[in-house]
Amino acid sequence: MTTAGYRIGESSLLGVDSPQPVIQVKNLNVSYRGVEALQGINCEFQAGRLTGIIGPNGAGKSTLLKAMLGLLPAKGKVKWGNGSLATNRSRLAYVPQRSKIDWDYPVTVWDVVMMGRVKATGWLRRFSASSRHIALESLKRVGMEKLRDRAISQLSGGQQQRVFLARALAQQAEIFFLDEPFVGVDQKTQNIIFGIFRELTASGKTVIVINHDLGATITHFDDLILLNKELIAAGTRETVLTKENLYAAYDGQVMFFSDAA
């Protein structure tokens, strides 16, 4: 990721010998009915890093994520290697905001996690024993295997979030995108999720998370992108979380956390 001549990931990476850009976002612009939601976003992501996208409400955080995934029309380029990110969807896992999911849909925990094996299996084809094993191991990683037959609607918010993380894990993706996974979850779920993020980045995966909180959770991130319809700052926590950057993003209406390291 680059801002003011600084590229995120120049320091040593967890589980990666040398920093290589995984995703390159070049001059990304998104408009809704003539109103600019994002303007001129340029940044890069490296493997083995946990990156948080932060900014005030309406800053374009979810818009950036969806535009990168090709879920929204946008101008500019989002590259992965020599191709586009959107054309490599089978290698990506996306967990949307909980508020965007129909939790009353009549499916079980097991049904949801097995959805993560559909692309690898093919539509209308029987799941293999290997796929079922992968799904079960994914449930175990989030501590939800004992509730595999429970209806998703009967779970708490934290349990629901863990199930959707298990679905993402079952995809065996290389890059993980999560939109505000910590909203409305308990401390146990938060600890489990951050623990899994660390396992993923240590194995060279890239994890990109929209985070609404500037409190203690921010200390878990390797790198940050600070947005307010344009890129305010990008880099390590220490680089991004300055009074000047936060004031610019939040128009001065933000409590500054002096020790974010």
CATH of the domain at 226: 3.40.50.300
**136 part of a folded domain:** yes
**123 part of a folded domain:** yes
**197 part of a folded domain:** yes
Residue 132 has pLDDT above 90, yes or no: yes
**232 part of a folded domain:** yes
What is the rounded distance in angstroms from the CA atom of residue 79 to the CA atom of residue 24? 5
**260 part of a folded domain:** no
**255 part of a folded domain:** no
Which of 11-20, 47-56, 97-106, 122-131 shows the lowest per-residue confidence on average (mean pLDDT)? 11-20
pTM of the model: 0.86
Residue 54 has pLDDT above 80, yes or no: yes
| Total domains present in the chain | 1
Q: Which residue has the tokens 């708490």?
A: 156
Grade residue 21 by pLDDT with cuts at 50, 70 and 90: low
**259 part of a folded domain:** no
**258 part of a folded domain:** no
Burial class (CB in 10 A: 0-12, 13-18, 19+), 90: exposed
Grade residue 4 by pLDDT with cuts at 50, 70 and 90: very low
What is the rounded distance in angstroms from the CA atom of residue 231 to the CA atom of residue 252? 17
Q: Which domain holds residue 202?
A: 2-250
Question: What mean pLDDT comes out for the span 211-230?
Answer: 91
Residue 9 has pLDDT above 90, yes or no: no
What is the rounded distance in angstroms from the CA atom of residue 205 to the CA atom of residue 176? 8
Strand pairing category for 206-210 and 50-54: parallel
Phi, psi torsion values for 103, nearest 5 degrees = -80, -10
